[in-house]
Amino acid sequence: MRFDGDIAAIASRLLLHPEPMPDAHDLVPDFQLQELDGRPPVPAAVLIALVRRPMGYTVLYTERATGLRKHSGQVAFPGGRIDPEDHDASYAALREANEEIALDPQDAEVLGFMPYYYTGTNYFITPVVAVVEPSGPFIPNPGEVDAVFEVPVETLMAPKSYGHYRLHFQGQVRQSWQIDHGGHRIWGITANLTRRFRDHVLTGEAGHAP
């Protein structure tokens, strides 16, 4: 499946504004990994960056630093918590991308937002979709990121790119999508968000909302 570069069509499948957080009792996590003990969900934002390259569009990923306490070595989109001083989810996602990989916010045009994703670790994630025309290289912050890599959009659109990752946890089997590319394994939240991005935004096969 080829990507025709119709950015206007992609934007039309996105939300104009981030979804507000529902009452915590109405949130259903992707799968439960820990007891939340009544703690309020943590607002967070990730950047799904469509990077314009001479050979076509790619999607940007990071490999988290192995020295991090949580999710070390895993593949993730740039992003993190929404701080109180952040204007909105897009500001937070671009701020985090700048801190993690030196992505200049001026190089990004935010197209819109995907519906929220609530994780079993109590994060309320707003995916921010943007077109990025990099004015310089992406440089990993060694304290947060070990590597930056990009996956061609055509690869993410191809159904054959998706397998299943199975995790045994507390006697149960948890499952997510899995994408292998260039020696990197994308699984868990990032793979699930990638699949939603494919189905609902890139191809529009599944409508406008998950």
DSSP 77-105: -SEEE--TT-SSHHHHHHHHHHHHH---G
44 closest CA partner among 200, 189, 195, 202: 189
Q: Which CATH number fits domain 7-33+40-157: 3.20.20.150, 3.90.79.10, 1.20.1090.10, 3.30.1330.10?
A: 3.90.79.10
Q: b/e per residue, 12-43, with b = 16+ CB within 10 A?
A: ebbbeebeeeeeeeeeebbebeeeeeeeebeb
60 closest CA partner among 4, 139, 177: 139
Query: Rounded to the nearest 5 degrees, what angle is found at the Cα of 64, between the Cα atoms of 204 and 5?
Result: 25
C-alpha dist (Å) from residue 10 to 89, 156, 176: 19, 15, 24
pLDDT in tens, the chain (210 residues): 677 778 999 999 999 999 998 887 778 777 655 565 677 899 999 999 999 999 999 999 999 876 555 554 689 999 999 999 999 999 999 999 999 999 999 999 999 999 999 988 889 999 999 999 999 999 999 888 999 999 999 999 999 999 998 876 666 677 789 999 999 999 999 999 999 999 999 998 876 544
Locate the domains of the chain by residue range.
7-33+40-157
